[in-house]
Structure 1
Amino acid sequence: MPTDPRGLRDDAPLLDAWLRFQEAAPTPFTIPGHKQRHDLVGDVVAGDVPLYAGLDTMKLTGGVLADAERRAARLWGADVCRFSTGGATHANQSVALAVADDGDTVVVSRTLHRSMLLGLVLAGLTPVWVRPEVDPATGLPLGVAPDAVRRALEAHPHARAVFVGDPSYVGTVGDVAGLADAAHEHDVPLVVDAAWAAHFGFHPDLPRHPLQLGADVMVTSAHKTLPAWSQAAIVLARTGRVDAARLEAGVEATATTSPAGAILASTDAARALLERDGEELLGAAIAANREARSRLRAVDGLAVLDGPGVDPLKLTVVLSRAGVDGNAVEQDLLDAGLPVESADRDVLVAVVSLADTPGTVAGLTDALVDSVERHRGPARAAVGPASYGVQPEAVVPPRQAFFSRSEHVPVTSAVGRTSAELVAPYPPGIPVLAPGERITDQALQALGHARLAGVRIAYAADPTLATLRVVVD
């Protein structure tokens, strides 16, 4: 269903402010330095309007950002909402600063993104890891079991919060309501990195979003499944177990002082669109993805994640039984102008959003089926992403390791040493090694498998993994 974005402006104060700036065409004597000229570096700066002296006055007398955040809080049922122009990375790190004190312990799902682990470094928090259950048929993660959180909290009664990531990168959905119950039995907040779930709760076929299920804080990326600019994210919180002033301080401490107005305006516009037309747009996208899953399941050897425990808008295909190398399929799709979110040897992940149409999803499906048939080979066992099978061994808190003296050693000499760096296959950016953890044969084998599967090893000082940075003993 086509929509007119200008029709949203009455309910989207930041979008309205962005449009008014364009209509007024001022001659600014403020930053940004391009001064709205497109003849210097081209249209790459088109639409770049600052919040300060752009969407609002330099003194923020118009209050348009606060108005937009109040509307988002109301839509998601939160007490507090803050928009982020630094993605869920900024949002996660601001929450880490808000919910506990330096030196405190928190329970953390190992499926969380690197941004939260580095948030632990910033805040001086020590993680007690809980791991997701894994589907033995695909090697892919399911949710973290509420009983695993209960056991962790019973063993660490002074823990101050529980952090989980849900849904997973591949689209599996856990028992967030059960996790909230487990956290609240110990009177600590449940924080959910729901970066991939901005659309949850806005169509009857979708899971409810974390706040509806009892979570205390929800971080979500407006740019992942909603039509907002890259880096657009939202922090939503209920304040019964979370100090609103601490959260505000955490957001401001880690945010840029020059926020991009276009990102903020697109967040506001995406919220208004979701509120007005979300159910209809999402319904069409869900139907298109349902058809794609049905077609792909009919292809010999392909396994497609589906069912009540999977996001209806994620298209995750396991290729191993068809003997297909996902890297070859990805190249075919790139050649066809159809880039996907992630591909390695065994698993391909495509994101479908409310911006998709039956035609776009069908085109991807056609190309995917054709590529699979061209690249068939002998069936092999499924091996899930490296991040999920490694048992971390904490030696010192992440912050201590991050700031310790370090040295580079050959990877052959690294086993048994304490990692000073974060190493993660990307995507999805879930660590195999984190600062303060013992380097084990298991971790190195997992990273080696990821490289052989065609996954980029990210964040390591030496991306070839010939050496690792370790804490000086």
Structure 2
Amino acid sequence: MPTDPRGLRGDAPLLDAWLRFQEQAPTPFTIPGHKQRHDLVGDVVAGDVPLYAGLDTMKVTAGVLVDAEARAARLWGADVCRFSTGGATHANQAVALAVGRPGDEVVVSRTLHRSLLVGLVLAGLTPVWVRPEVDPVTGLPLGVLPTTVARALAEHPRARAVFVGDPSYTGGVGDVAGLAAAAHDHDVPLVVDGAWAAHFGFHPDLPRHALQLGADVLVTSAHKTLPAWSQAALVLARTRRVDPARLDAGVEATATTSPAGAILASTDAARALLARDGEVLLGAALDAVRRARARLADVPGLVLGDGDPLVLTLLLPGTGADGRAVEQDLLAAGIPVEAAERDLVKAVVTLADDDTTLTAFTAAVVAAVRRHRGTPRPVVGAAVYGVVPVPALSPREAFFADRDTVPVGEAVGRVCAELVAPYPPGIPVLAPGDEITSDALAALAAAADAGVRIAYAADPTLATLQAVRR
């Protein structure tokens, strides 16, 4: 029988409901079809309890989800919170539907995840692209400058919102307070995709979270840096510049009507844990990662990225080692990492980590770099961050347009009809509506050569591209 080892159920109504369902062992005549039997397909369905006729009644008379969302809103200092069982992807698309109408312009950082690009298609919004600065030493993206956003808003005074991602996939932290001020000078909301920052703001040695810095909406993934099920996310909003009814409508329009109760309960439990023990647990993880960084700093040529203290972004050019070979050694040692390409290895540390896990990681990295060390090579910034998009159509127009399959050698000058992004991190090099440029094709080729998977394209080999029919 499932237990509550940290005693969280008293402050976590969804967790309490999930535990009560297990304790009562009902005989359901509702979905899901496994009916809580584990003898059919095994324990793969263990813990799968629906929200409707599971955590709550079919008519949601207990109100446990509303209660849990209100507790999360209070913890993050938001006016409203909605839980998502579709990850930050769902949350980003819901916000896109909430802030404008078809044809409206919005200022969008080009480093945002593909989910927001699809949100633009769904909502019919037209992006005004802005790009982040790039660190000349590490080649990693920094935040979008407030002056860049201010200039974009001045040039597009009818823009309805600003969308940025912070921190970046590699842990870089930008000036969210400055971005909020720039957006608010034009009386439009700042929406921050903080998918990697659910832990921000809950320890004095961590950056403050986006709402604390003045943002109007924060999207964050409970499953990325908190102990929640995969696909667990939250959208938190202040409602001075965001209509809560429109936000609710956006969430409901893009959500499943059969939400997984275990995901919701884990989000609630993670919130309760963060409220009660977050500072202590995060402090222990921060102490452990400081010791790990000190050990890694002794590796000749290895450079560590700055920003989020709990992200270990290892830059390898100075060692001559290939990150793909390092990754294979780590996998052989049972230590998978979040990302690995020729010049970079990224490891995510959370409050679930301690000296034991980090000592194992650093020992494996040191041994792998030693084994694969070679001639140092210059730092080459990730080419995806340097591509200047050339808009030709709105994303929605291009997505629904008739299209041709075009050999890549004949694609320059055509209008892209698909999303093409190296993954991770899922940042688009080509988006629907972009003119296909030689710079974009070169960036994609460089990413593929560095061992990064090319995602979302109809032809992942990039021998062909989908282009809008002329």
Q: Same fold judged by TM-score > 0.5?
A: yes
Alignment of 1:333-412 (within 5 A): 333-412=330-409
Question: Is residue 398–residue 417 contact of structure 2 (8 Å, CA) maintained in 1?
Answer: yes
Question: Is residue 162–residue 189 contact of structure 2 (8 Å, CA) maintained in 1?
Answer: yes
Listed one character per residue, the Cα deviations across residues 240-278 of structure 1 (whole Å, up to 9, x for unaligned) are 000000000000000000000000000000000000000
**Displacement of 1:137:** 1.2
Distance (Å, rounded) in 1 between the aligned partners of 2:108 and 2:372:
40
**Displacement of 1:381:** 1.2
Question: Is residue 138–residue 305 contact of structure 2 (8 Å, CA) maintained in 1?
Answer: no
Alignment of 1:212-251 (within 5 A): 212-251=212-251
1:437 aligns with 2:429: no
Distance (Å, rounded) in 1 between the aligned partners of 2:152 and 2:428:
20
**Displacement of 1:290:** 1.1
Distance (Å, rounded) in 2 between the aligned partners of 1:386 and 1:122:
28
Q: Which letter does structure 2 place at the counterpart of 1:215? A: A
Indicate the SS of the match to 2:211: helix
Distance (Å, rounded) in 2 between the aligned partners of 1:179 and 1:7:
40
State the partner residue of 1:321.
318
State the partner residue of 1:106.
106
Distance (Å, rounded) in 2 between the aligned partners of 1:138 and 1:357:
27
Indicate the SS of the match to 2:164: strand
Listed one character per residue, the Cα deviations across residues 340-378 of structure 1 (whole Å, up to 9, x for unaligned) are 000000011000000011110111000000000000011
Question: Is residue 321–residue 369 contact of structure 2 (8 Å, CA) maintained in 1?
Answer: yes
Distance (Å, rounded) in 1 between the aligned partners of 2:335 and 2:381:
24
Distance (Å, rounded) in 1 between the aligned partners of 2:375 and 2:214:
46
Question: Is residue 422–residue 459 contact of structure 1 (8 Å, CA) maintained in 2?
Answer: yes
Distance (Å, rounded) in 1 between the aligned partners of 2:60 and 2:381:
49
State the partner residue of 2:127.
127
Question: Is residue 49–residue 262 contact of structure 1 (8 Å, CA) maintained in 2?
Answer: yes
Distance (Å, rounded) in 1 between the aligned partners of 2:383 and 2:416:
17
Distance 1:5 1:67, change over 3 A: farther
State the partner residue of 1:117.
117
1:468 aligns with 2:443: no
Question: Is residue 50–residue 259 contact of structure 1 (8 Å, CA) maintained in 2?
Answer: yes
Q: Which letter does structure 2 place at the counterpart of 1:141? A: P
Q: Which letter does structure 1 place at the counterpart of 2:155? A: A
State the partner residue of 1:296.
296
Distance (Å, rounded) in 2 between the aligned partners of 1:142 and 1:296:
22
**Displacement of 1:68:** 0.1
Question: Is residue 386–residue 425 contact of structure 1 (8 Å, CA) maintained in 2?
Answer: no
Length, aligned pairs only: 468
Alignment of 1:6-405 (within 5 A): 7-306=7-306, 310-405=307-402
Q: Which letter does structure 2 place at the counterpart of 1:404? A: A
Listed one character per residue, the Cα deviations across residues 52-88 of structure 1 (whole Å, up to 9, x for unaligned) are 0000000000000000000000000000000000000
**Displacement of 1:139:** 1.0
**Displacement of 1:4:** 5.2
Distance (Å, rounded) in 2 between the aligned partners of 1:412 and 1:250:
40
TM-score scaled by structure 1?
A: 0.98
Distance (Å, rounded) in 2 between the aligned partners of 1:92 and 1:386:
25
Indicate the SS of the match to 2:120: helix
Indicate the SS of the match to 2:361: helix
Q: Which letter does structure 2 place at the counterpart of 1:405? A: D
Distance (Å, rounded) in 1 between the aligned partners of 2:456 and 2:381:
21
Q: Which letter does structure 2 place at the counterpart of 1:398? A: P
Question: Is residue 386–residue 432 contact of structure 1 (8 Å, CA) maintained in 2?
Answer: no
Task: Give the alignment's Cα RMSD to 1 decimal.
Answer: 0.8
Indicate the SS of the match to 1:329: helix
Distance (Å, rounded) in 2 between the aligned partners of 1:252 and 1:386:
37
Q: Bigger CA drift: 276-285 or 376-385?
A: 376-385
**Displacement of 1:6:** 5.4
Distance 1:5 1:66, change over 3 A: farther
Indicate the SS of the match to 2:426: coil
- Which aligned runs of 4 or more in structure 1 are off by greater than 3 angstroms? 3-6
TM-score scaled by structure 2?
A: 0.99
